[in-house]
Structure 1
Amino acid sequence: MMDASVQTAQCPGCGLTMPKQQISLTYSYNASEECYEKYSELTAYTLSHTGDDFIYQHVVDAYASQHSGNGMKSITTAFALIGLYYAVEHGFNGKQVQRVHTLLGRLKYPWDTLSLPQRSYSVTVMDVLNKPSGDKRDAMIREWMLDVWGCWSHQYAWVRSVCQGLLG
């Protein structure tokens, strides 16, 4: 429970509430500075992993999808959702998703501005960080991906159509 005298900041993307800090957010995410700091902490953890899984990519896509809106570029949201689609529905590891992003990045395509989910997310970056490092945290990353992807169900048809049209 937080001390009532401590100022808090609520993330507009995922709803995470944390003590307010004096941090400047330099990226265009629909996120509080405090939430973005936790995301940075999680990305540092994932970059320390070795092997082909490259879960870093899954964290990038889950966070970007969850924190879309408020000036974020349409391409960022589209790429993040496409990454989650391939990871969740096709079992792609992070390296494979990264290759999909590379292929898409070579194409000239007018990325749509997608309507945001109307339902709340159940898992935040803090839920992931609260798990111990290793298998439990990595499993929670998977749960986070599933939660975020599920919240975007209203865009499934768009994602599938774009993937089929652009990547065959």
Structure 2
Amino acid sequence: MLVSTCPGCGLTASRPTNQVLVPAPERHTASDACWSLYGELLSRSYTDADYRRVHQLVVDTYTAQHAGPTGRRAVQLVGLCLMTLCLIVEDGVDPVEGPALHRRMMDRRPDLSWLTPPRQHDLMTVADVLTAQDAAQHQRLVGEWARQVWEAWTEHHATIRAWNAYALGPAN
């Protein structure tokens, strides 16, 4: 068995030595094993409408917990995901609205900048969410995971709220 620790979330996972995993893309700081579990979680969203209700929250939470290296694409991806997390966790926006929010945010794109990710090794992980036995439990676990990841970014909340105000506020 090979054991690896995810640099993004701290998840320690093992896999058989003969199992080949698809590596995480550069835009995510994740171990191959963690990325594979994320793929399993996404497959639930793609195959069951009750799981799909929180799909955008899964994507945004995983991305915020596994922020990739600095660079224009990572800045945009992580910034957008954090903006959506803010609205869902703090304001109670329905996660189903996530894709529409992303489109609106990009219409009036704020001047996003790199935010140094916090250490997130003592929070829930994708593995915790995969323990859900049904869609209702899945939705609860995803919500708690999102809340924990959002709280980890506390140092940057004011900046993220300002991005939302600009992107979603009245036109100048």
TM-score (norm 2): 0.85
User: Take 1:59 and 1:38, find their aligned partners in 2: how far apart are those partners?
Assistant: 12
Query: 1:24 aligned to 2:22?
Result: yes
Question: How far did 1:44 drift?
Answer: 1.2
Alignment RMSD (CA, Å): 2.1
Q: Deviations over 1:49-68 (max 9, x none)?
A: 437x7310000000000000
Q: Deviations over 1:119-140 (max 9, x none)?
A: 5341000001022132112211
Which residue of structure 1 lines up, in the alignment, with residue 35 of structure 2?
36
8 Å Cα contact 2:24/2:32 also seen in 1: no
Distance change in 2, residues 1:62/1:108 (3 Å): closer
Secondary structure at the aligned position of 1:39 is classed as helix
Which residue of structure 1 lines up, in the alignment, with residue 8 of structure 2?
13
Which residue of structure 1 lines up, in the alignment, with residue 87 of structure 2?
86
TM-score (norm 1): 0.87
| Bigger relative contact order, structure 1 or 2 (CA pairs below 8 A, ≥6 apart) | 2
Q: Which moved more, 1:80-89 or 1:12-21?
A: 12-21
8 Å Cα contact 1:121/1:151 also seen in 2: no
User: Take 1:76 and 1:36, find their aligned partners in 2: how far apart are those partners?
Assistant: 17
1:13-162 to 2 correspondences below 5 Å: 13-20=8-15, 21-25=19-23, 27=25, 28-50=27-49, 54-71=53-70, 73-118=74-119, 120-162=121-163
Displaced runs of 4 or more, over 6 A: none
User: Take 2:12 and 2:121, find their aligned partners in 1: how far apart are those partners?
Assistant: 14
Aligned residue pairs, count: 163
Q: Deviations over 1:98-150 (max 9, x none)?
A: 21101122345432011111453410000010221321122111110011001
Identify unmatched segments of 5+ residues in structure 1: 1-5
Identify unmatched segments of 5+ residues in structure 2: none
Query: What amino acid does structure 2 have at the position aligned with 1:19?
Result: S
Secondary structure at the aligned position of 1:8 is classed as strand
Distance change in 2, residues 1:25/1:116 (3 Å): same
Distance change in 2, residues 1:15/1:54 (3 Å): same
User: Take 1:104 and 1:31, find their aligned partners in 2: how far apart are those partners?
Assistant: 26
